[in-house]
């Protein structure tokens, strides 16, 4: 599919826009209590899983002090999420965050937004103008056509930014109603060329969220709309990254990484695919080469059904088989199979890297 042409906006070293890969984002799901090695480790783990940008709520001077320390060490650009208090936005920008996310409607008077724009302009900080259908200004909250209302509002905000000659902006238009999210983003992309951050807000726990997000974001992405995404999940952050990557992979918009094929098991199974996938999934997500992996429950159907896979695993009784392109290359045991699989997978990675 052809992506809609949008301007490029740099968020730190990550370019956002139609000429660039679609970035996967998440948002830290707790107060940032302290700058610590543990915090950096967690961000590092998310980065290895495929997170391109991370956002934090900045609610106090203490939060901003932590962000200031975090920015130089973070492996991914850091975004400060600001509500109501324009001074916190100014302080976050001064702290060096690569992007702030604001809803100009709750910042207050135009002059406050202009001050934020001037500071962002001086520091080369990007700004996401983020509108959520559930938090529209009181005077328009009950308007019948929410999509049109959101478009009109965001147009007013964009005009304010343009009056300051500031175009370092990314737009998000989210709603907990997935159909409104679809319509409003489609309308926006017909009228503007600023990059869009896509997401269905308050999308629920893992399964409902992934279904709603895949359906809504999938349709927008298929129409070439969207430059960065977040799958909002009431659940672990790493699931947001997995889900975002899988949606992009499904749409052929993710250039590398593992394509995992695994069977659900049935009465015929001799190998516990549930156990193996849950043990290995995080590791698979860190692989950046284009590799297909099959985890199959039975040696009768497994290798044959997964003969296209670069590497696979199955078993019967006490024996576990590792296969490549349908041919068994190693016999092992359940106790040793994880390590032996990783060794064989490393060979596949090396071959792909050297080719
Ligand atoms: S691969 Fe084997 S174990 Fe898995 S679902 Fe198919 S028949 Fe059942």
Is the distance from the beta carbon of residue 312 to the nearest atom of ligand 1 less than 6 Å? no
Residue 124: name the closest of 222, 31, 11 by CA: 11
In a domain, 194, yes or no: yes
**Same domain membership, residue 285 and residue 195:** no
Is the distance from the beta carbon of residue 266 to the nearest atom of ligand 1 less than 6 Å? yes
Is the distance from the beta carbon of residue 268 to the nearest atom of ligand 1 less than 6 Å? yes
In a domain, 81, yes or no: yes
Helix (H, G, I), strand (E, B) or coil at 322: strand
**Same domain membership, residue 214 and residue 286:** no
Per the listing, tokens 């679609």 go with 22
**Same domain membership, residue 174 and residue 87:** yes
**Same domain membership, residue 126 and residue 75:** yes
CATH number (domain holding residue 18): 3.20.20.20
**Same domain membership, residue 264 and residue 200:** no
Q: How far is CA 310 from CA 74, 263, 296, 353, in A?
A: 34, 16, 13, 14
CATH number (domain holding residue 268): 3.30.413.10
Is the distance from the beta carbon of residue 270 to the nearest atom of ligand 1 less than 6 Å? no
Domain final residue, candidates 250, 277, 294? 250
User: 288 with 21: CB under 8 angstroms?
Assistant: no
Helix (H, G, I), strand (E, B) or coil at 260: strand
Atom 5 of ligand 1: nearest residue by CA position: 265
| Buried-state track 68-99, b at ≥16 Cβ within 10 A, e below 16 | bbbbeebebbbbbbbbebbebbbbbbebbbbb
Is the distance from the beta carbon of residue 269 to the nearest atom of ligand 1 less than 6 Å? yes
Range of the domain at 314: 258-354
**Same domain membership, residue 265 and residue 242:** no
State the pLDDT at residue 135: 79
Q: Residue 48 has which token pair?
A: 């290895």
DSSP per-residue letters across 42-106: HHHHHHHHT--EEEEE--SHHHHHHHHHHHHH-SS-EEEE--S-HHHHHHHHHHT-SEEEE-HHH
Is the distance from the beta carbon of residue 303 to the nearest atom of ligand 1 less than 6 Å? no
Pocket test for ligand 1, best of 267, 272, 295, 302 (most atoms within 8 A of CB): 302
Helix (H, G, I), strand (E, B) or coil at 139: helix
In a domain, 240, yes or no: yes
Q: How far is CA 95 from CA 9, 98, 119, 150, in A?
A: 20, 9, 11, 31
In a domain, 3, yes or no: no
**Same domain membership, residue 160 and residue 102:** yes
**Same domain membership, residue 109 and residue 54:** yes
List Cβ neighbours of 240 (8 Å cut-off, separation of 6 or more). 26, 230, 231, 232, 233
In a domain, 1, yes or no: no
**Same domain membership, residue 274 and residue 244:** no
State the pLDDT at residue 191: 97
pLDDT in tens, the chain (355 residues): 799 999 999 999 999 999 899 999 999 999 888 889 999 999 999 999 999 999 999 999 999 999 999 999 999 999 999 999 999 999 999 999 999 999 998 999 999 999 999 999 999 999 999 998 887 887 888 888 889 999 999 999 999 999 999 999 999 999 889 999 999 999 999 999 999 999 998 888 999 999 999 999 999 999 999 999 999 999 999 999 999 999 999 999 998 899 999 999 999 999 999 999 999 999 999 999 999 999 999 987 777 778 889 999 999 989 999 999 989 999 999 999 999 999 999 999 999 988 8
Atom 8 of ligand 1: nearest residue by CA position: 266
Domain final residue, candidates 211, 227, 250? 250
The total number of structural domains that make up the chain: 2
Report the C-alpha gap between 343 and 65 in whole angstroms: 43
Pocket test for ligand 1, best of 261, 262, 264 (most atoms within 8 A of CB): 264
Q: 79 forms bridges with which residues in the sheet? A: 55, 99
In a domain, 138, yes or no: yes
**Which contacts (CB < 8 Å, 24+ apart) does range 209-215 have?**
209/233, 209/234, 209/235, 209/243, 210/243, 212/178, 213/243, 213/247, 214/243, 214/246, 214/247, 214/250, 215/178
In a domain, 2, yes or no: no
**Same domain membership, residue 294 and residue 145:** no
Atom 2 of ligand 1: nearest residue by CA position: 298
User: 208 with 243: CB under 8 angstroms?
Assistant: no
In a domain, 237, yes or no: yes
Interval between CA 271 and ligand 1 midpoint (Å)? 9
State the pLDDT at residue 140: 81
Domain final residue, candidates 219, 250, 281? 250
**Same domain membership, residue 319 and residue 238:** no
Helix (H, G, I), strand (E, B) or coil at 132: strand
**Same domain membership, residue 246 and residue 262:** no
């Amino acid at each position: 599919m052809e992506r809609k042409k949008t301007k490029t906006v740099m968020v730190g070293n990550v370019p956002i826009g139609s000429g660039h890969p679609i970035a996967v984002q998440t948002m830290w799901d707790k107060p940032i209590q302290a700058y610590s090695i543990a915090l950096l480790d967690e961000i590092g783990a998310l980065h290895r899983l495929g997170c391109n940008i991370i956002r934090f709520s900045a609610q106090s001077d203490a939060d901003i002090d932590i962000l200031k320390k975090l920015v130089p060490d973070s492996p991914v650009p850091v975004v400060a999420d600001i509500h109501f208090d324009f001074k916190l936005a100014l302080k976050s920008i001064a702290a060096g965050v690569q992007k702030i996310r604001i809803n100009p409607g709750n910042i207050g008077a135009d002059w406050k937004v202009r001050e934020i724009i001037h500071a962002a302009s001086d520091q080369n900080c990007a700004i996401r103008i983020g509108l959520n259908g559930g938090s529209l200004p009181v005077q328009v909250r009950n308007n019948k056509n929410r999509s049109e209302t959101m478009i009109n509002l965001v147009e007013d905000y964009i005009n304010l930014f343009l009056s300051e000659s500031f175009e370092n902006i990314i737009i998000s238009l989210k709603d907990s109603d997935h159909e409104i999210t679809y319509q409003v983003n489609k309308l926006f992309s017909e009228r503007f060329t600023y990059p869009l951050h896509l997401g269905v807000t308050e999308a629920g726990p893992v399964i409902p969220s992934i279904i709603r997000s895949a359906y809504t974001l999938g349709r927008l992405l298929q129409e070439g709309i969207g430059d960065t995404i977040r799958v909002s999940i009431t659940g672990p952050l790493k699931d947001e990254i997995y889900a975002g990557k899988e949606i992009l992979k499904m749409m052929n918009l993710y250039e590398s990484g593992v394509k995992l094929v695994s069977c659900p098991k049935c009465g015929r199974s001799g190998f516990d695919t549930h156990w193996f996938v849950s043990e290995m999934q995080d590791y698979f997500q860190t692989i950046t080469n284009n590799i297909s992996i099959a985890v199959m429950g039975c040696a009768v159907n497994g290798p044959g059904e997964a003969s296209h896979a670069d590497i696979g695993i199955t078993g019967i009784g006490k024996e576990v088989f590792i296969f490549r392109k349908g041919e068994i290359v190693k016999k092992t045991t359940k106790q040793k199979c994880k390590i032996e699989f990783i060794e064989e997978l490393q060979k596949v990675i090396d071959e792909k890297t050297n080719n």
